[in-house]
Amino acid sequence: MKKNNTSKSRLSLYCNLGALLLAFILVLVIDATHNPTDMLVKVLQKVCVYAVVAVSMNLLNGFTGLFSLGQAGFMLLGAYTCAIFIIPDEVRGQVYGYIEGGSIVHVRLPLIVAILLGGLVAALFAFLIGLPVLKLKSDYLAIATLGFAEIVRTIVTWEKLGPVTNGSFPLSKLNTFRKALEGTPFEKFSLVTPYFLIAGICIAVIVLIIRSTYGRAFKAIRDDEIAAEAMGINLAHHKRLSFVTSSFFAGIGGALFAIFQASVSAAPFTSAMTYEILLIVVIGGIGSITGSVLGSFLFIASSEWWLRGLDSGKFLGISSPVFRNGFRLVVFSVIIMIFVLFFRKGIMGTKEFDVVKIGGFFKKLFTETVPGWLKKIKHKEAADQ
Amino acid sequence: MDYLLPGISAGGQYALIAIGYTLVYGILRLINFAHGDVFMVAGLMMVYATTYMPLYVSIPLVLILTAVLGFGIERAAYKPLRSSPRMSVMISAIGVSYLLQNLALYITGGLAKVYPTIKFLSETITIFGSTTRRVTVITPILVLVLVVALVLVIRYTKIGMAMRAVSKDFTTSQLMGIRINTVISATFVIGSFLAAVGSVLYFSNYPSVVPTSGAMPGLRAFVAAVVGGIGSIPGAVVGAFIVGICESLIKGIPEISIFSDAFTFLLLIVILCVKPTGIFGEKNIDKV
């Protein structure tokens, strides 16, 4: 019986890895055939960025049960740290043009190193703020982390920090994957592929953490703190670990966001951004990694792309004066409210996407359900006669 | 004095919003993230109402409509989730906030709407040697009157007694025959009404309303409620005055003026870490 189980789970592992490989090949094909400004490319890049952040938030909110709303703050830390080190030397003076004396940072790092550094800085700040804040209970923690994010947002725009953060001016003209890979054999695959790979690695690491003993401890804390403590789990240690890890990946997500936009300013990292990410997690299912990824895809694709018609006056062939600027977001928030109120578990609940299970579903559909219907129809026909 | 007066005035306006947070938290244990946006919607309704009717009609109308809005939000977004975990209700509140902001963005077309001048409130007067608008002086007085009225309602009327009972123990008061839904609706109506009063006073000081103008005052008022001890009405008022005055004083020093909001949140984190129940909060004991 046990052997059967492991071989089954191994089969599903291989199938899922196969599906992932297929997705990767699809991304490569998209890269090779599309232009950098295509909507599909932009959407997929943003989906990768948001997927990292949503999964990191899910690690904290869904798997450890710590309701934190500081994600935008950690993203901002990651984005700024990364951006400072990837402004090309030739435009540095121009970007810091309004700051007296220009930039004081004269180091330029490769993209990957800068991204990692962004994550590390976010993690460091998470460790420091976590020391006092993680003692708080559920909603107090949410508010304190929200406050922290707002504080960070103000501090980076401080004029005294101008030589580092460019004050209230954006850090623009950043290096991108496209530019970095120019002239190398990978040039063709520099649109979505780098985002996909980095996001994939981050999410894989988070999955591995969740499956380790640490992950089990996190889940125990989520389900019952007191019982977990009684079982010998060090609450403070594990909560801090979860918080720091989650912030590390939020920082990486922020750094990717900076590269995606090729510029950073403090303005977009408001609490509204955290709310968006939280809603992605809710739509996908709190406690489901694949749900968060799916949620990011649906959220970004519909808000940036599919529902665009609602703004420009024509949607699904219907045109109406109601469809003007902003209507897209109204429809979108109504859909979200429907999810929050009626499908509280989200798309995936706490389940994970599994090719074998979906295969099993279809198999069942064709071997049991459909023949069942046919049988019923036959019975009915027989009865009619 | 030049900074103290606006601080007291801002504090009064935050107090009116903070009471809404405190009342709801006291009863439902819910941080009503949509409250700041209700405040913003009240401001927008005022803008639209005054284009069609005179002030003496539109002010009461806006106050009533805002109260109805609060009632509606509670019925539509919070009541269906009454038996689910607190986190889902909080997420629902965030969803409502998102919806209200986007709705406002759609209706206004993303343009800042000019707030009507209420002549009586925005006339300038001189007090203690500093010139200011009349609203600055009226706000603290009005806040005091409203708070005293509210405290009297809570202490001596039947609905007030029911509110106190529900905030003490949700299930037991249900067993005692208190209609929970009526009490909760009343809480939202009172909270939204006060937020509408606050919005009339607040936006008299600012030229225009935009869809996001509710977020910051909402957060500050929430901080005020926590500082004072969430669940306590006098606490919310005292906390709001502390937040308002500190903000105004810091804004007065040019070198650190951009930190006025950061300071508010710093105050929040410090209070939460030192005394999470706030100045007037009751001590809560968690049972297994």
- Give the whole-angstrom CA distance, residue A98 versus residue A120: 29
Tokens of A186: 């990978």
Chain A contact for B274, CB < 8 A?
Answer: no
CB-neighbour burial class of residue A237 (10 A; exposed 0-12, middle 13-18, buried 19+): exposed
- Give the whole-angstrom CA distance, residue A343 versus residue A283: 8
Confidence (pLDDT) at B287: 46
Nearest C-alpha of chain A: how many angstroms from B211?
12
Intervals of chain A under pLDDT 70: 1-8, 100-103, 309-324, 350, 353, 355-356, 361, 365, 368-370, 385
Nearest to A147 among B94, B268, B276 (CB): B268
- Per the CB < 8 Å rule, is B94 touching A148? no
- Give the whole-angstrom CA distance, residue A282 versus residue B257: 37
Is the pLDDT assigned to residue B288 strictly greater than 50? no
Chain B contact for A338, CB < 8 A?
Answer: no
CB-neighbour burial class of residue B187 (10 A; exposed 0-12, middle 13-18, buried 19+): buried
Is the pLDDT assigned to residue B175 strictly greater than 80? yes
CB-neighbour burial class of residue A295 (10 A; exposed 0-12, middle 13-18, buried 19+): buried
In angstroms, what CA-CA distances link A78 with A71, A101, A158, A262? 11, 25, 17, 14
Nearest to B95 among A139, A326, A340 (CB): A340
Chains A & B: contacts with CB separation below 8 Å:
122
Confirm whether the ipTM is greater than 0.85: no
Chain A contact for B213, CB < 8 A?
Answer: no
Q: Nearest residue on chain A to B79, judged by CA atoms?
A: A341
pLDDT (tens digit per residue) in B23-61: 888 888 888 888 889 989 998 888 888 888 888 888 889
SS3 state at B118: coil
Q: Which of residues 308-327 of A touch B (CB under 8 A)?
A: 324-327
CB A329 within 8 A of CB B105: yes
CB A96 within 8 A of CB A64: no
Chain B contact for A95, CB < 8 A?
Answer: no
Nearest to B110 among A154, A275, A326 (CB): A326
Neighbours of A359 (CB within 10 A): 13
How is chain A split into domains, by residue range? 15-270
The candidate with the shortest Cα–Cα distance to B117, out of B52, B53, B47, B60, is: B47
Output the CA angle A365-A338-A53, nearest 5 degrees.
85
Tell me the mean pLDDT in the region B239-268: 83
**For residue A343, what are the contacts with CB-CB under 8 A and spacing of at least 6?**
none
The candidate with the shortest Cα–Cα distance to A130, out of A240, A272, A241, is: A240
**For residue A334, what are the contacts with CB-CB under 8 A and spacing of at least 6?**
B99
Chain B contact for A343, CB < 8 A?
Answer: no
CB A235 within 8 A of CB A225: yes
Confidence (pLDDT) at A76: 93
Chain A contact for B219, CB < 8 A?
Answer: yes
SS3 state at A150: helix
Strands (E), chain A: 314-315, 318-319
Tokens of A187: 């040039």
Test mutation, A129, A133, A134, A143, chain B, max B CBs within 10 A: A143
Q: What is the pTM of this model?
A: 0.85
Chain B contact for A7, CB < 8 A?
Answer: no
